[in-house]
Amino acid sequence: MIEIKNLKKTFKNNIVLKDVSLTINEGELVVFIGPSGCGKTTTLKMINKLIMPTSGEILIDGKNIINEDTISLRRKMGYVIQQTGLFPHMTVKENISLIADLQKWDKDKITIKVSELLKLVGLNKEEYIDKYPSELSGGQQQRIGIARAFMMNPEIILMDEPFSALDPITRNQLQDEVYNIQQELKKTIVFVTHDMDEALKLADRICIMKDGLVVQFDTPENILKHPADDFVKEFIGKDRIWNQPELIKVKDIMIKNPIKAVEERTSLQAIQIMRSNHVDSLLIVDGDEKLNGLVTLKDIRKTLEKNTKLKDIMERNIITVSSDDSIINVLEKMEKESIGYVPVINENSKLVGLITRSSLLSVLSNQFLDKEVLLHE
């Protein structure tokens, strides 16, 4: 765990960090982002003791890094930068294993570890292990830089805009690689970028900075839905949430008071409830609001007896979703099952809402209309 407490940094008369405090949990990927000069890279470099604070402290696993041996501290961290920092006169293997060689690792152990890391970053050992940096593309060099950062199996990886100089296709590929590696190894990664799309794609939490201060530190979902102020709104973009549909949850757009009835109601009563509420179906719940089934107007018309209980004609095997499901999952489920509505239940199977195809389209179309208004203002 990394704790940053009241961190301040002044270069001559320029205040770069004013008062930064936050905690990065073990195994978490945190992205620092903000305008140029906001202090994000300075904060990253302080974790590695490349820059010393004017005041405040940084603790790693409860120990103040100011008291730690700098060389030992850095060897416990991986560091990936934009320029890769590969030594041109060394082979891929020699670049990756540099620290291990200095620490006199067994040669066979080094070869095995380098081979594992090349596979981890998507490079073929036989093809690349003996090449020199000049024989590699920019993307391949950056993969080697990532492999080197993981060589000593550090618990913390620092990444300072590692992909900003790469073409979009290579950049996307490496973002996927880092995400997959993080899912597999669960290292603590501190990642600096100026690209909000990259931050949203990678981060467990995002730290947005401005003028040496933390403006908002939260999950991507919460930042998109609940920006802290106008600066964050403008920085992430007003319509960003709609460009990240996987982050839009069912609870954000569901009908929160769907029309329902208990199973002891008669079909005649059900018709009256439907007519009063302008719907053609009813969700059937018990006294504890637990969802038991669904009755449609079509089901009722199949029976001639108007005193028939709903429990005798309702459909019990119904498709449901959770309030935390994304609308992408809901749309896929509705398409696959050829249905126009999906009840929303909680972990206790209680009814909490309803998603209908028409309500979903209404929300999306209103957003589209809002964009059109903005375009014509």
Class of domain 252-362: alpha beta
Name the least confident of 20-29, 55-64, 103-112, 161-170.
161-170
User: What would the mean pLDDT of 15-30 be, rounded to a whole number?
Assistant: 92
Strands 281-285 and 260-262: parallel
Q: Which one-letter amino acid corresponds to residue 81?
A: I
3-state secondary structure of 104: coil
Name the least confident of 36-50, 191-205, 325-339, 359-373.
359-373
| Domain residue ranges of the chain, discontinuous segments joined by + | 2-246, 252-362
* Non-local CB neighbours of 372 within 8 Å, separated by 6+ positions: none
Of 197, 234, 189, 243, whose CA–CA distance to 216 is shortest?
234
CA angle, corner 330, sides to 328 and 331, nearest 5? Answer: 65
Count of CB atoms within 10 A of residue 245's CB? 12
Q: Is the model's pLDDT at 238 over the cut of 70?
A: no
94: its two tokens: 């020699």
pLDDT digits (tens, 9 = 90+) for 81-126: 877 678 889 998 988 888 888 888 888 898 888 988 888 888 888 8
Question: What span, in angstroms and rounded, lies between the C-alpha atoms of 233 and 226?
Answer: 9
Of 127, 2, 129, whose CA–CA distance to 58 is shortest?
2
Q: Identify the residue whose tokens are 């005798």.
A: 312
Of 2 and 220, the one with more pLDDT: 2
Of 112, 167, 119, whose CA–CA distance to 146 is shortest?
119
Q: Which CATH architecture has domain 2-246?
A: 3-Layer(aba) Sandwich (3.40)
Q: What is the pLDDT of residue 373?
A: 40
